[in-house]
A = this chain, B = another copy of it.
Amino acid sequence: MVEIIDTTFRDAHQSLIATRMSTQDMLPIAEKMDSIGFYSMEVWGGATFDAAMRFLREDPWERLKLLREHIKKTKLQMLLRGQNIVGYKHYPDDVVERFVELAYKNGIDIFRVFDALNDVRNMKVAIKKAKEVGAEVQGSIAYTTGPIFTLDYYMKLVDELIALDVDCITIKDMAALLTPQKAYELVREIKERYGIKVNVHTHSTSGLAVATYLKAVEAGADFIDTAISPLAFGTAQPGIQTIYHVLPKELRPKINLKTIYEIHLYLRELLEKKYDHLLNKKALTVNTDVLVHQIPGGMYSNLINQLAEMKALDRLDEVLEEIPKVRKELGYPPLVTPTSQIVGTQAVLNVLFGRYKRITQETKNYVKGLYGEPPAEISEEIKKLIIGDEKPITTRPADLLEPMLEKCRKELEERGYLQKEEDVLTYCLFPQVALEFFELRKQGKLKPLKEKPKGKIIKIYIGGREYEV
């Protein structure tokens, strides 16, 4: 029997409606969700922290507390981006550790930890602290494709994660590239070698997901991630209603389908009345392009925007051919934030101005090792081309960072914004947004941003400058 991790309150709305589901949208069905029989619910982390504060003017910590009050039986879990926590850059260890402590204190039972480069050094501090406070830990391997990503590559990663005493291995397939056969092989191998619990996380983007989960469960996966339709499928996880019927009877989870149907009706109305403008056809339907180029959907639309802005859309095909070359030369990073931006932007520049004639600061930092260690080594030739005679660091990137907790606390106090310990973390993570938020809170003026969103906010970097498209 497989157990279900429900992602409706985190990845599903992050993927389909630009992370705009508010706490007020969640609470009316929170008790019902709690009664279904899910192993756990992913309700926090990822982009929700930033989006809640930035767009909904909600305190993410308050959301967690409220959900915990309404969801008493089911475990709650969050997605933690390793040393990036819930942000987009490396933070010092004191911030990571305090964040984990406070997340646990406010209701998180399970921490799912990953690193974009599969550099376990970037996950270590978070995992250790989570285990120390008594939480469950799902150590993630970011799944990607390429000649170096053999079964051995992944098993070496699992070795390292198990050495950190994780409770479960998550195969995290953010780009929807995991085929049913690969899922079967990976799960089988991990179960046979280690016997540890295994979870599979994928997205429906490429249409493989439903079959991938079936084979993963056949291979002995203990958990799969699903959402509740209609806040499911497309770029999100498959709907549990379908997955239930996809699984053979003896492997089906013990869940209450009647309650799921009630939630389905609630979500259908919510989406139609409140979020229809955010749900676009392209996010809902299967996109088979990703299987052709192996370029994740989000990265692809990013490229289009970037080229359009540079009036060079006619070079798209060349860029699509350049990307696998750049990726190879940079040591095969999985294409996920932030490496997807680094590789994509560098490929665009290579095509427009000649190979490595212009190099972004991000590419330089990447080659210097400031994001961590790439899956494969970068050749001396390419290193030379990109950073000249500079020496890459060999330490863990966060080893170079000064502690910032006390400094941030002091600053907040001076500004008169500090109301609770969690505020310090919020400020450390997103200083600008946090200050704006705290000021509005002080004035009693917190209300959702009036926006006519055009879709997801995607940040692109061109030559070190940041654009929002």
A261 at the B interface (CB under 8 A): yes
Most buried by B among A211, A261, A287: A211
When the two chains form the complex, which single residue of B208, B232, B279, B285 contacts A246, counting CB atoms closer than 8 Å?
Answer: B208
CB distance from A41 to the nearest CB of B (A): 19
Q: In the bound complex, how far is the Cα of B242 from the Cα of A292, in angstroms?
A: 10
Given A207-B233, A211-B214, residue A239 in contact with residue B181 (CB < 8 A): no
A261 and B292 alpha carbons, distance in the complex (Å): 8
Instruction: Evaluate contact between B248 and A288: CB separation under 8 angstroms.
Output: no
Pair A246/B284 contact, Cβ less than 8 Å = no
User: Residues of B contacting A239 with CB < 8 Å?
Assistant: 207, 286, 288
Q: Contacts A180-B214, A214-B180, A292-B261 given: A208-B245 contact, CB under 8 Å? A: yes
B245 touches A292 (CB 8 A): no
A241 touching B181 by the CB < 8 A rule?
no
Q: Which residues of B contact A246 (CB under 8 A)?
A: 179-180, 207-208, 211
Q: Assess A229 versus B286: contact at CB under 8 Å? Given A211-B214, A246-B208.
A: yes
Q: Which of A139-182 contact B (CB under 8 A)?
A: 179-181
Interface residues of A in 231-245 (CB under 8 A from B): 232-234, 238-239, 241-242, 245
A281 interface contact, C-beta 8 A: yes
A330 within 8 A of B: no
Number of copies: 2
**Which of B179, B248, B264, B285 is in CB contact (< 8 Å) with A285?**
B285
CB-CB contacts below 8 Å: A272-323 with B:
279, 281, 284-288, 291-292
Chain B neighbourhood of A281, CB < 8 A: 279, 281, 284
Interface size on A, residues (CB 8 A): 35
Interface residues of A (CB under 8 A from B): 179-181, 206-208, 210-211, 214-215, 229-230, 232-234, 238-239, 241-242, 245-246, 248-249, 257, 261, 264, 279, 281, 284-288, 291-292
Q: A232-B286, A233-B286 are in contact. List 19 more A-B contacts (CB 8 A).
A: A179-B245, A181-B249, A206-B242, A207-B233, A207-B238, A207-B239, A208-B245, A210-B211, A211-B214, A211-B246, A229-B286, A229-B287, A239-B288, A241-B292, A242-B286, A242-B288, A242-B291, A279-B281, A281-B284
- Complex A-B: 27 CB contacts under 8 Å: A179-B246, A180-B214, A181-B248, A206-B242, A206-B245, A207-B238, A208-B245, A208-B246, A210-B211, A211-B211, A211-B246, A214-B214, A214-B215, A229-B288, A233-B285, A234-B285, A238-B286, A241-B288, A242-B286, A242-B288, A242-B291, A245-B291, A264-B288, A281-B281, A284-B284, A284-B285, A285-B285
In order of increasing CB-CB distance, the 8 nearest A-B pairs are A241-B288, A207-B242, A284-B285, A211-B211, A229-B288, A233-B286, A211-B246, A211-B214
